[in-house]
Structure 1
Amino acid sequence: MSEQKFAPNFEEYLICPYDSVHRIMPIRLTYHLTRCAKNFPAAKMVRCPFNSTHLHSVANMQKHVIECPDRSSMERYKLPDMLPPAEPRPVGLVVETTEDWDAEPPAPTYNPKSYCDKEFVIRNPQGAPPAARRQFRENERRRFRENNQF
């Protein structure tokens, strides 16, 4: 049996803004940032108003706020009529129909026992004593022979 070793895909990892040696999976970034901030209390990092995982120095924050990729989603939330929609809105199409799926169909109820008695269905009696099963099989043979089925 050969062992497969899976190397981590470092392209999917993010770099910690506090320590560039730290590589973090995107799903664990928020948890890591809260823990790592305790280890670097002297670092003056400011959180982005659009995404709390974006941390930058005070000097770089103004530039980041202008270029932040999450800014457009916030602006769409605040001013939905001012910006074009992210996805085209569906056209309200109403189709009139005469069908009523809640109405009961005009069909009689189905009784499987009466159907099997009329049609030629091979049946097997369950739960009957051996003598009653023998009698049932004999009656079924007679019924099939009378109607020329076998």
Structure 2
Amino acid sequence: MAGNNIFVGGPNLTEYVQCPYDSAHRILPVRLAFHLNRCAKNFPCSKMVRCPFNTSHLYSVTNMQEHIIECPNRSNLERYKMPDMLPLVEPPRHEFIVDSAENWDDDPPVPTYNPKTYCEEKFIIRNPQGAPPAARREFRERERRRFTANNQF
């Protein structure tokens, strides 16, 4: 039985980041921004400041100046300020024309489908909805005459 032991791993803590408000909180990086908004309500007296380059970077006031110099998201602002350093724009894609005998702008070779005329021509049992009782009775009589005239009933 010793050979049948199966190891079930726990959470991989290397994928998680630590909350700046509470060190016991471990959060996936994708959920960090949402967690910081909720966790900030629990710590209203903390002196934490958000980074101007990335709102999920949260540091104390004393460490923020140091972080701004080293922030990895600062490069986005630097690229914006110096557009000459930006990579070249992609070349335009080549236009291509597909030869087809089909023309969608032409009228179709058959008339459009009208369900009302189809039901009047074919022998389909219909039930008028929303008409007053006298009109429904009259409609049923007309339909009965139409069916019996063509020996369909």
TM-score normalised by length of structure 1: 0.55
Residues 11-26 of structure 1 aligned to structure 2 (within 5 Å): 11-26=14-29
Structure 2 counterpart SS, 1:46: strand
Shift of 1:84: 3.7
Report how far residue 31 of structure 1 moved.
1.6
Report the Cα distance in structure 2 between the residues aligned to 1:23 and 1:91, rounded to whole angstroms: 44
Partner Cα separation in structure 2 for residue 92 and residue 34 of structure 1: 42
Deviation at 1:15, TM superposition (A): 0.5
More helix by share: 2
Match of 2:68 in 1: 65
For 1:34 and 1:92, how far apart are their aligned partners in 2? 42
Distance 1:72 1:103 in 2: 49
The residue aligned with 2:143 is none
Distance in 2 separating the partners of 1:82 and 1:91: 17
TM-score (norm: length of structure 2): 0.54
Residues 1-150 of structure 1: pairs in structure 2 closer than 5 A: 5-76=8-79, 78-79=80-81, 81-85=83-87, 89-92=89-92, 100-104=97-101
| 1:34-88 CA-partner distances (Å, limit 9, x unpaired) | 1111111221000000100000011111111111101112332x33523242xx5
Alignment coverage as a number of residue pairs: 99
1:16 Cα offset (Å): 0.5
Q: Distance in 2 between matches of 1:54 and 1:20?
A: 15
Structure 1 counterpart of 2:120:
none
Distance in 2 (CA, whole Å) between partners of 1:54 and 1:101 is 51
Matched residue type, 2:85: L
Instruction: Sort the Cα spacing of 1:103 and 1:80 in 2 relative to 1 into closer, same or farther, 3 A.
Output: farther
Instruction: Return the alpha-carbon distance in structure 1 between the equivalents of residues 98 and 25 of structure 2.
Output: 60
User: Structure 1 pair 102/80, CA: closer, same or farther in 2 (3 Å)?
Assistant: farther
Q: Any stretches of 5+ residues in structure 1 without a counterpart?
A: 106-150
Measure how far apart 1:11 and its partner are: 0.4
- Identify if the C-alpha distance between structure 1 residues 94 and 29 changes in structure 2 by more than 3 Å, giving closer, same or farther: closer
Task: Give how far 1:5 is off.
Answer: 2.6
SS at match of 2:33: helix
Provide the rounded CA distance (Å) in 2 between the counterparts of 1:44 and 1:7: 34
C-alpha RMSD over aligned residues: 2.7
